[in-house]
Structure 1
Amino acid sequence: MKRKISDKDKKDWKNFISNKEKLSNKDLYLSNNKIKKEIIKTIDLHGFSLENANNVIEEFIIQ
Structure 2
Amino acid sequence: MKALVFNAAFIGILGSPPLLTVLGGIIGLVLLLPFTYEMEAVPAFALLLGMYAVTSTSDTI
**TM-score of the alignment, normalized to the shorter chain, above 0.5:** no
Higher relative contact order (CA 8 A, sep 6+): 2
Structure with higher helix content: 2
